[in-house]
């Protein structure tokens, strides 16, 4: 009897492999970090071989820790850092350039030119996205234009493009499959999310040859099988989704109006809008939440570039804390009379501002400001940014009131009770932390297990979701409004304009 589903969670700073049992409990976990490369200001890269090596190593380690073999695994599900862009040789599998990471801002100039030329309405209408360096399309164009010979090789059909899922699928299947799923395709600036197809007009706009592109499939289905040499026997691959969409699935946000927010390196909130895509009037993204049986479910998404990365900055950049776990207790000791704000625009601001060129700012510093106040400012910056996203969702979503919506949370930062309570306080809404914290990996495992009969249909899977802790608002309304007003003033100071919430 098959005992496990293997989830590969390939993230921005590490790769993890988890073995899930049929009851969705975790049998084994392995994690490996890999280096980040910053070749120029605003540039972020990964070595493709690091992504592959850590994937292989963690999968083997998880199997070993569970005392399992390939024959014990019903299927593999993959979830990945989205928008990170790779191009490789179809014959050798060798990448022509380091992976350009989703955080990378090198194509800001190209995005600005395309906006000035009036192309953003077309991009928004077809893809649900905005013209920003965040997305894969302009990264593809940069590689083709800046790696000697790359464009010629691409036009000859010798090269393949992929987000990280496609690259791992290529390597796992021994180069037999060049595919992706709809959630990852929807993050490229090249995919029509309404038709569910690559868009010729957008390909011409960014000068990307169609021969580079992978086949797009459902999020749950047939993605081939691993090369037998990798794990001793072939293992079917049956699920793929970008990390935020996988977290939406893992949080069982299957009903329209449900919202989840994931706190990792960045923060990403998704509001399920059902079978109908909602065009945002407040600079949110319209995206595909998941695609099952050829049917797409859509979401409004708010993307914050810096969440956990602000805590990493406190630890690694300033030396304020020795570990991320210290920040909650430290923030609790901050002087309540000091209003210190961190606007963590280290790589620009994401939704709902989309200002790629601004950089971070601290305001409200006094002689009495110390590590506790800085820790509180870093953690609160994540809460304020989430409040901005939910306010924009309230304005865009005509069929529900996000004020009354419970926010389901996951990611590394949700382990901090102080941060989650402050989040509930500033949102004036309940915040639910689930028993299973590994929701991104669980979403990938569910999609794979659904395809091979290990897990039930979405409605029955949702019944398995269990609450660990609900954080309810406890902050007085005048205090909340004063703190939110101070945040808006800080952001406005950075941007040079007033920023009333929608």
The position carrying tokens 């090269």 is 159
pLDDT at 409: 94
Whole-angstrom distance, CA of residue 156 vs CA of residue 170 = 20
The secondary structure of residue 466, as a DSSP letter, is -
Q: What is the reported pLDDT for 420? A: 94
DSSP state of 238: E
Torsion of CA 184, 81, 107, 286, to 10 degrees: 50
pLDDT band at 402 (very low <50, low <70, confident <90, very high): very low
What number is the average pLDDT over the span 140-167?
A: 96
What is the pLDDT, as a whole number, of residue 500?
Answer: 64
Asked whether residue 153 carries a pLDDT value surpassing 80, the answer given is: yes
Q: What is the pLDDT of residue 403?
A: 45
Query: How confident is the model over 444-450, as a mean pLDDT?
Result: 96
Contact 384, 340 (CB under 8 A): no
The C-alpha atoms of residue 127 and residue 131 are separated, in whole angstroms, by 10
Q: DSSP for 350-416? A: -TTT-BTT---EEE---TT--HHHHHHHHHHHHHHHHHHHHHHHHHH-TT--GGGPPEEEESGGGG-
User: Does the residue 345 lie in any domain?
Assistant: no
CATH number at residue 95: 3.30.420.40
Which residue segment(s) compose the domain that 174 sits in?
4-243
Residue 404 scores a pLDDT above 70: no
User: How many folded domains does the chain comprise?
Assistant: 1
Judge whether 182 lies within some domain: yes
Q: Are 296 and 182 in contact (CB under 8 A)?
A: yes
Question: Does a structural domain hold residue 208?
Answer: yes
Band the pLDDT of 347: cuts 50, 70, 90.
Answer: confident
DSSP 8-state assignment for residue 313 = I
- pLDDT, average across residues 73-77: 96
| Per-residue pLDDT at 234 exceeds 90 | yes
Planar angle of CA 73, 245, 32, nearest 5 degrees: 55
In-domain check, residue 271: no
State mean pLDDT over 95-109. 93
pLDDT of residue 2: 65
Give the model confidence (pLDDT) of 473-483 as tens digits. 999 999 999 99
Task: Determine, yes or no, domain membership for 357.
Answer: no
Give the span between the Cα atoms of 356 and 442, in whole angstroms.
32
**Pair 226, 437: CB distance under 8 Å:** no
Distance CA 126, CA 120 (A): 10
pLDDT tens by residue, 246-277: 999 999 999 998 999 999 888 999 999 999 99
Mean pLDDT, range 298-304, rounded to an integer: 92
Q: Which residue has the tokens 């709902």?
A: 352
- Per-residue pLDDT of 180-214, as tens digits, reads 999 999 999 999 999 999 999 999 999 999 999 99
Domain assignment present for 42: yes
What is the SS3 assignment for 451? helix
Q: Which DSSP letter does residue 435 get?
A: S
Helix axes 108-116, 120-127, angle to 10 degrees: 100
Of the candidates 79, 123, 131, the one whose C-alpha atom is nearest the C-alpha of residue 105 is: 131
Q: What's the mean pLDDT when you consider all of the chain?
A: 92
Q: Is 355 contained in some domain?
A: no
Nearest to 162 by CA among 82, 219, 77: 82
Is position 270 within any domain? no
- Nearest C-alpha neighbor of 266 from the set 344, 340, 166, 154: 344
Express each pLDDT in 112-129 by its tens digit: 999 999 999 999 999 999
């Amino acid at each position: 009897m098959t005992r496990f589903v293997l989830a590969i969670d390939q993230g921005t700073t590490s790769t993890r492999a988890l073995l899930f049992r049929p009851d969705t409990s975790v049998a084994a976990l392995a994690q490996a970090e890999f280096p980040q490369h910053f070749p120029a200001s605003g540039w972020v890269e990964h070595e493709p071989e690091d992504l592959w090596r850590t994937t292989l190593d963690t999968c083997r380690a998880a199997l070993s820790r569970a005392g399992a073999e390939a024959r014990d695994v019903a299927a593999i599900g993959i979830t990945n850092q989205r928008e990170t862009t790779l191009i490789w040789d179809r014959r050798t599998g060798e990448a022509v350039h380091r992976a350009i990471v989703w955080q990378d801002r090198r194509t800001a100039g190209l995005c600005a030119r395309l906006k000035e030329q009036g192309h953003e309405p077309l991009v928004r209408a077809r893809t649900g996205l905005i013209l920003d360096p965040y997305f894969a399309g302009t990264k593809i164009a940069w590689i083709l234009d800046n790696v000697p010979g790359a464009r010629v090789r691409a036009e000859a059909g010798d090269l393949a493009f992929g987000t990280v899922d496609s690259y791992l699928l290529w390597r796992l299947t021994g180069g037999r499959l060049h595919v992706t799923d709809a959630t990852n395709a929807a993050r490229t600036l090249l995919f029509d999310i309404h038709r569910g197809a690559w868009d010729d007009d957008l390909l011409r706009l960014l000068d990307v040859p169609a021969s580079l592109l992978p086949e797009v499939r459902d999020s749950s289905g047939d993605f081939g099988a691993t090369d037998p040499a990798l794990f001793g026997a072939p293992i079917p691959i049956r699920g793929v989704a970008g990390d935020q969409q996988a977290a939406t699935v893992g949080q069982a946000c299957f009903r329209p109006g449900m919202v989840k927010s994931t706190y990792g390196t960045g923060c990403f909130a998704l509001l399920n809008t059902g079978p109908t895509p909602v065009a945002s009037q407040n600079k949110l993204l319209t995206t595909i939440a998941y695609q099952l049986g050829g049917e797409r479910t859509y979401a409004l998404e708010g993307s914050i570039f810096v969440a956990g990365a602000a805590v990493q900055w406190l630890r690694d950049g300033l030396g304020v804390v020795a570990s991320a776990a210290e920040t909650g207790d430290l923030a609790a000791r901050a002087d309540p009379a000091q209003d210190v704000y961190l606007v963590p625009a280290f790589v620009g601001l994401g939704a709902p501002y989309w200002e790629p060129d601004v950089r971070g700012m601290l305001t409200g510093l006094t002689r009495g400001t110390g590590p506790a106040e800085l820790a509180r400012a870093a953690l609160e910056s994540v809460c304020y940014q989430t409040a901005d996203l939910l306010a924009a969702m309230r304005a865009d979503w005509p069929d529900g009131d996000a004020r009354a919506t419970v926010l389901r949370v996951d990611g590394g930062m949700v382990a901090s009770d102080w941060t989650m309570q402050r989040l509930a306080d500033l949102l004036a809404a309940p915040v639910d932390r689930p028993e299973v914290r590994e929701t991104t990996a669980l979403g990938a495992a569910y999609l794979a297990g659904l395809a091979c009969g290990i897990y039930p249909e979405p409605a029955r899977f949702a019944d398995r979701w269990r609450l660990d802790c609900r954080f309810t608002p406890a902050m007085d309304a005048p205090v909340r409004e004063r703190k939110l007003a101070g945040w808006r003033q800080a952001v406005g100071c950075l941007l040079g304009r007033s920023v009333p919430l929608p």
